[in-house]
Chain A
Amino acid sequence: MIGLRNLERSYPLAKEKFFYVLREINLEVHEGDFVSVMGPSGAGKSTLLHIIGMHDHGWSGEYFLGETPVHHLKPKERATLRNEQIGFVFQQYHLLDDLTVYENLDIPLSYRRYSKSERAALVADMLDRFQIVGKKDLYPRQLSGGQQQLVGVARAIIAEPKLLLADEPTGNLHSSQGEEIMELFRKLNDEGVTIVQVTHSEKNASYGKRIIQLRDGWIAKGE
């Protein structure tokens, strides 16, 4: 599903020198895979995730999403592709604070071609599926961290993405909440969603099918 060939990401330093965050990344992720990217801080894990998520365009090399050569797409085409295929879960949840749970779930749909009634149905379905119907009118501040991340995951998959990218999804949660989220990921993966997660936790990584180790921008293990 994902094919990365000689992918590199660098930032210019003084006098035509570059600081490389990612070097010669070659990676294949198959459909239905559940990949955990691990490594110390500064290894380039989040950068890799944002490149796969097409938020970062300043890289070189080749990136195929399915059959589509992302490296040949213009930013607008990439945005369209991302909207069709990818969902995101963040460590800090990144719910919008002045929107209710219901409205937060509705946001990704509002950016895609869904009618109002379709959106309402999908949000209702998601609230029901995650058992948060009673919290739909609450604001993020009124939820616990685990509940917020639950909403974050629900929001990530509401537009039915084929690929779910998660950046330290349990980093801000205590262990029982973290387990709950990881179980949810496993369930989603079982349902056919491809997942790439960045994590520091061996335990969380064990929920995945494959582990990639990054060090100083290079893939050290699991290519």
Chain B
Amino acid sequence: MIRDFKFAFRQLFKAPGFTIAAATVLALGIGVNTAVFSLVNTLFFAPPSYAKPHEMVQLFSQDKKDPKKFRGFSYPTYLDIRQQNTVFSDVTSFNVAFIGLGQKGDTRRAFSAVVTSNYFSVLGVPLARGRAFFPEEETPGHNAQVAIVSYSYWAKHDLDPGVLGSHLLINGRSFTIVGITPKGFVGTMKILSPEVWLPMSVYDQVANDFGSDNKTTIDDRKGTQLRIMGRLKPGMTAAAAKPALEGLAANLEKAYPVEQKDQTFMTAPVSRNSVSNNPGTESGIKVIAPLLLGMAVVVLLVASLNLANMLLARGTARRKEIAIRLALGGSRWRIVRQLLTEGFALAVLGGAGGLVLGLWSSDFLVASMRRLMPLDIVWLTGPNPAILAATFGFCLLGTLMFALGPALKISRSAVVTDLKEHAGEDVVRRHWKFLPRHPLVVVQIAFSLALITAAALFIRGAGKAASVDTGLKPGASYILEVDASLAGYEPKHAQELYRNLNDRLAALPGVEHASICSIVPFGMFESTRKVQRAGLHLAPDARPATAAEGLAFEASWNSVGADYFATVGLPVVRGRAFTEAETTQSGPKVAIIDEALAKKLWPDDDALGQRIQYAAANAPSASDTGGAHAGRSADLNEREKQEETIEIVGIVPSTRHALFEKELAGGIYLPFARGFQSDISLIVRFHSLPPGNEATTAGLLRRTVRDLDPSIPILSLRTFAQHLDSNLDLWLVRAGAALFSIFGGLALGLAVVGLYGVKAYSVARRTREIGIRMALGAQAGAVLRMIMREGSIMLVSGVAIGLLLAVATAKIVSGFLYGVGAFDPVAFTVAPAVLTVAALIATWLPARRATRVNPAQALHAE
């Protein structure tokens, strides 16, 4: 075997051109697979960064009457579960929050986890430095100003030992760093890691407020803020724990019939990619994993086919050598083994290149994600045993795919004739002449077309997504995001500050309108509320079918300033806009709704002047989603839900509230004073923004904030166009397009290189035949046509099969496309056209060379 390897490497070094070309092709195929495996492995398979993950489960609170509905837990409920359960050795509770991290005026947004004191011990994670939280630091009201920071935070501070015990400014308040998590610990999620862990006692300080003017505090049993995880007792399984947990839920419902009404408990594996209170939120991302892996394997297949062709061609040239080996007594198996060893040696070279390429691609992806999200992305992209093993596996798989077939074929040598035959002559007789000469190239072209079509579909989707009509016409606008609470402002003073800031911005030269809003459409956050017609008191088990009967509708929610609609270019089509007084003082309860919601609530009547109310969380509604959007909860207090009725004073056109909203959900706007939140945005609309003046304008806006109070952190400042451009959905679509473009581009490149290689090799090997043909009267045109015709047969066959594969691929990816059908005619025209043109060029180059064969030399060479 060692001799086989020695000979294999000698063979490879003897033909450096072939070796480099083959290793490059393999490196591309294996590199893509390594990169995708690295991502998929990290997201789905790599063990979590805590101990004995098989014992850990997440607890969910489920509505018995509507099992699709889930909610979080209150802190008192967590304590009850911790004390009364019989199945867990311990439970811990947590939630995440965006915090303002840093000095006044230089604050950045960071991702934090607010946890109970036993969080690290339940997870079995010893801290790298310092200590975990003390039990008293979790008690509501204690307000323990202590924090544990992530290893990457520590690394950003050059692993300075002085970080421990130093102070950290969070939301304008000073916290002492008491611990540092170990390297690689990312909490319960993969990749997205909190940068700071805070004790539960500060939850109310740091929890993001979501527009509700009467939040539930952490010690309120009505709250649903928390997630719970538990470590099952040794020998206990999730299935065995089920009856006990249902019994516990029943006991709690008896003890707290209002707060725990209809709630039961269930477990599911701890979510790896979200902190949702719904166990079903990961199903979407789980579909992507096999899709990505499948596409990557197709690229490896195309690369392997390419290489198989190269090996077949090389094998033809080595026919005499094989014949000699056989003549000297070598068995066929021995020859196959030798050829497979050569293939594997090649795969190892390609695998090494692929590993480097794959890891580099992973780093690139992480960098791209980091630019977009204000989160600490911890993705250990370096080589680890799993990735090395996977790459080795891809090498073995590749070897089997590209080397086995040629080895079996080449080893089927006819000793006598091959020894006699002209060295390297391509004299294989073909009984099925109507079939293409090189079926592997046909398969390559077919798979490539499928990937190129998928890429075309995603690119079309990305193009459409980028030019989506939002329904807003914000013109030349800037969005300025600030959070006065991070500078220590209380809500009352913050509101006053925002009003002043709004006025100053509106008075700037060139400014047409300026308005505050709690939510900027198409940003990272959105908020929804269930609303219904006012004055309805439904029976607890009522099932209304229409708005008139009390059916509630989930609508996008925003609290805005008086000039908001003029600022974003949304005309008030009926009624009026908010007055200055309504948006700055808590006056009469008024709202403006959009036409979509108006139509839903009063399909046959005029909504203007009517009254609506917030519906209870469990009220029957037309669009129950069962989950909250990014960071925004729809929690409302009882008073807000039931007692307040709101008059509709205006109706505006419907707009999208999320970039990829398929059906307009409807929207409700409240005056900002009725929906205060500390993290707000000010949209500043200019008459015009001359190109090149961006820096000056941004400087002017920054100065305006600084003049008012230099301690106010500016969380972001960008134009509306830039805001849309950095939309997460858009990024996902673009990332999909980029990813599939890479797959498609690689496949196209490999197929074209494969076709070129086969034709070039074929022309070189057929010099004698071409020489004879020319000696017999074939002119250059005839030879060119002959080679082109052979290439075209391969191309047409490949495209025909490829279109069928493309249809199947399009069906599979259709769920991820935006704005284009699975059978988009443009994609299905452009992809084959691109492939055809590239393939024809790849055929034409060797065909042109064939026309330059000198028959005298070709025949003389005999």
Binding site for B on A (CB under 8 A): 46-47, 50, 53, 55-56, 76, 79-80, 82-83, 88, 90-92, 94, 96-98, 107-108, 111-112, 139, 141, 155, 159
* Chain A residues whose C-beta falls within 8 Å of the C-beta of B773 in the assembled complex: 96, 107, 111
**By CB atoms of chain B within 10 A, which of A55, A56, A155 has the most?**
A55
Given A55-B854, A56-B854, A56-B856, residue A94 in contact with residue B429 (CB < 8 A):
no
A148 to chain B, nearest CB (A): 13
B431 to chain A, nearest CB (A): 10
Q: Which of B382-390, B487-495, B774-782 contacts A (4 or more CB under 8 A)?
A: B774-782
A82 to B777, Cβ gap below 8 A? yes
Does B759 interact with chain A (Cβ within 8 Å)? no
Alpha-carbon distance between A141 and B425 when the two chains are bound, in angstroms: 14
A200 to chain B, nearest CB (A): 16
* Chain B residues whose C-beta falls within 8 Å of the C-beta of A155 in the assembled complex: 776
B778 to A111, Cβ gap below 8 A? yes
Using A108-B776, A111-B777 as known contacts, list a sample of 13 further A-B pairs with CB atoms less than 8 Å apart, ordered by residue number in A.
Answer: A47-B856, A50-B859, A50-B860, A55-B856, A82-B777, A90-B772, A90-B775, A90-B859, A98-B427, A98-B428, A107-B778, A111-B773, A111-B776
CB within 8 A of A112: which of B777, B855, B859?
Answer: B777
Alpha-carbon distance between A190 and B862 when the two chains are bound, in angstroms: 31
B856 to A50, Cβ gap below 8 A? yes
Alpha-carbon distance between A111 and B854 when the two chains are bound, in angstroms: 17
11 A–B pairs (Cβ distance < 8 Å), ordered by A: A46-B860, A47-B856, A53-B775, A55-B859, A79-B777, A82-B777, A88-B776, A96-B769, A96-B772, A98-B429, A108-B777
Alpha-carbon distance between A82 and B774 when the two chains are bound, in angstroms: 10
CB within 8 A of A55: which of B417, B774, B779, B782?
Answer: B774
Does B768 interact with chain A (Cβ within 8 Å)? yes
Residues from 758 to 786 in B contacting A, C-beta threshold 8 Å: 768-769, 772-780, 782
B775 to A94, Cβ gap below 8 A? yes
CB within 8 A of B429: which of A79, A97, A107, A112?
Answer: A97
Does B14 interact with chain A (Cβ within 8 Å)? no
* Chain A residues whose C-beta falls within 8 Å of the C-beta of B639 in the assembled complex: none
Residue in B closest to A93 when the chains form the complex, CB atoms: B772
A124 to chain B, nearest CB (A): 19
**By CB atoms of chain B within 10 A, which of A53, A92, A94 has the most?**
A94
* Chain B residues whose C-beta falls within 8 Å of the C-beta of A50 in the assembled complex: 855-856, 859-860
* Chain B residues whose C-beta falls within 8 Å of the C-beta of A53 in the assembled complex: 775, 856
Q: B428-450 CB contact bits vs A (8 Å, 1 = yes)?
A: 11100000000000000000000
CB within 8 A of B776: which of A56, A98, A107?
Answer: A107
* Chain A residues whose C-beta falls within 8 Å of the C-beta of B417 in the assembled complex: 141
Residue in B closest to A56 when the chains form the complex, CB atoms: B856
CB within 8 A of B430: which of A88, A98, A107, A141?
Answer: A98
Alpha-carbon distance between A108 and B417 when the two chains are bound, in angstroms: 28
Alpha-carbon distance between A83 and B856 when the two chains are bound, in angstroms: 15
- 3 nearest CB pairs, A to B: A111-B777, A55-B856, A50-B856
B427 to chain A, nearest CB (A): 4
A139 to B429, Cβ gap below 8 A? yes
* Chain B residues whose C-beta falls within 8 Å of the C-beta of A56 in the assembled complex: 854, 856
Binding site for A on B (CB under 8 A): 417, 427-430, 768-769, 772-780, 782, 854-856, 859-860, 862
B767 to chain A, nearest CB (A): 12
A91 to chain B, nearest CB (A): 8
B741 to chain A, nearest CB (A): 40
B777 to A159, Cβ gap below 8 A? yes
Alpha-carbon distance between A48 and B450 when the two chains are bound, in angstroms: 55
Alpha-carbon distance between A83 and B780 when the two chains are bound, in angstroms: 13
Residue in A closest to B769 when the chains form the complex, CB atoms: A96
* Chain B residues whose C-beta falls within 8 Å of the C-beta of A112 in the assembled complex: 777
Alpha-carbon distance between A98 and B431 when the two chains are bound, in angstroms: 9
A126 to chain B, nearest CB (A): 14
* Chain A residues whose C-beta falls within 8 Å of the C-beta of B769 in the assembled complex: 96
B855 to chain A, nearest CB (A): 4
Alpha-carbon distance between A92 and B430 when the two chains are bound, in angstroms: 22
* Chain A residues whose C-beta falls within 8 Å of the C-beta of B777 in the assembled complex: 79, 82-83, 108, 111-112, 159
B862 to A92, Cβ gap below 8 A? yes
Alpha-carbon distance between A141 and B768 when the two chains are bound, in angstroms: 16
Alpha-carbon distance between A111 and B781 when the two chains are bound, in angstroms: 10
CB within 8 A of B779: which of A96, A108, A111, A141?
Answer: A111
Alpha-carbon distance between A139 and B856 when the two chains are bound, in angstroms: 25
A76 to B427, Cβ gap below 8 A? no
Given A50-B860, A55-B855, residue A94 in contact with residue B774 (CB < 8 A):
no
A94 to B860, Cβ gap below 8 A? no
B321 to chain A, nearest CB (A): 21
Alpha-carbon distance between A91 and B860 when the two chains are bound, in angstroms: 11
A154 to chain B, nearest CB (A): 12
Alpha-carbon distance between A112 and B778 when the two chains are bound, in angstroms: 8
Residue in A closest to B776 when the chains form the complex, CB atoms: A108
* Chain A residues whose C-beta falls within 8 Å of the C-beta of B782 in the assembled complex: 111
B772 to A94, Cβ gap below 8 A? yes
Alpha-carbon distance between A182 and B41 when the two chains are bound, in angstroms: 76
B299 to chain A, nearest CB (A): 34
Residue in B closest to A90 when the chains form the complex, CB atoms: B859
* Chain A residues whose C-beta falls within 8 Å of the C-beta of B779 in the assembled complex: 76, 79-80, 83, 111
B779 to chain A, nearest CB (A): 5
B248 to chain A, nearest CB (A): 80
Alpha-carbon distance between A92 and B768 when the two chains are bound, in angstroms: 11
A10 to chain B, nearest CB (A): 15
B596 to chain A, nearest CB (A): 70
Alpha-carbon distance between A98 and B772 when the two chains are bound, in angstroms: 13
* Chain B residues whose C-beta falls within 8 Å of the C-beta of A46 in the assembled complex: 860
* Chain A residues whose C-beta falls within 8 Å of the C-beta of B854 in the assembled complex: 55-56
Residue in B closest to A98 when the chains form the complex, CB atoms: B429
A99 to chain B, nearest CB (A): 9
Residue in A closest to B774 when the chains form the complex, CB atoms: A55
Alpha-carbon distance between A55 and B861 when the two chains are bound, in angstroms: 14
Given A55-B854, A90-B859, residue A97 in contact with residue B427 (CB < 8 A):
yes
Alpha-carbon distance between A180 and B795 when the two chains are bound, in angstroms: 47
* Chain A residues whose C-beta falls within 8 Å of the C-beta of B427 in the assembled complex: 97-98
* Chain A residues whose C-beta falls within 8 Å of the C-beta of B430 in the assembled complex: 98
B421 to chain A, nearest CB (A): 9
A112 to chain B, nearest CB (A): 6
A55 to chain B, nearest CB (A): 4
Alpha-carbon distance between A47 and B773 when the two chains are bound, in angstroms: 19
Alpha-carbon distance between A97 and B780 when the two chains are bound, in angstroms: 21
Alpha-carbon distance between A124 and B248 when the two chains are bound, in angstroms: 97
Alpha-carbon distance between A159 and B776 when the two chains are bound, in angstroms: 10
**By CB atoms of chain A within 10 A, which of B430, B854, B855, B856 has the most?**
B856
B776 to chain A, nearest CB (A): 5
B144 to chain A, nearest CB (A): 86
Alpha-carbon distance between A88 and B771 when the two chains are bound, in angstroms: 12
B415 to chain A, nearest CB (A): 15
A138 to chain B, nearest CB (A): 11
Given A53-B775, A79-B779, residue A94 in contact with residue B856 (CB < 8 A):
no
B854 to chain A, nearest CB (A): 7
* Chain A residues whose C-beta falls within 8 Å of the C-beta of B860 in the assembled complex: 46, 50
* Chain B residues whose C-beta falls within 8 Å of the C-beta of A79 in the assembled complex: 777, 779
Alpha-carbon distance between A46 and B858 when the two chains are bound, in angstroms: 13
CB within 8 A of A94: which of B428, B778, B780, B859?
Answer: B859
* Chain B residues whose C-beta falls within 8 Å of the C-beta of A111 in the assembled complex: 773, 776-779, 782
Residue in B closest to A139 when the chains form the complex, CB atoms: B429
* Chain B residues whose C-beta falls within 8 Å of the C-beta of A82 in the assembled complex: 777
B775 to A141, Cβ gap below 8 A? no
Alpha-carbon distance between A79 and B769 when the two chains are bound, in angstroms: 17
Residue in A closest to B417 when the chains form the complex, CB atoms: A141
* Chain B residues whose C-beta falls within 8 Å of the C-beta of A90 in the assembled complex: 772, 775, 859
CB within 8 A of B775: which of A55, A139, A159?
Answer: A55
Residue in B closest to A112 when the chains form the complex, CB atoms: B777
Alpha-carbon distance between A139 and B417 when the two chains are bound, in angstroms: 15
Residue in A closest to B862 when the chains form the complex, CB atoms: A92
B387 to chain A, nearest CB (A): 47
B478 to chain A, nearest CB (A): 69
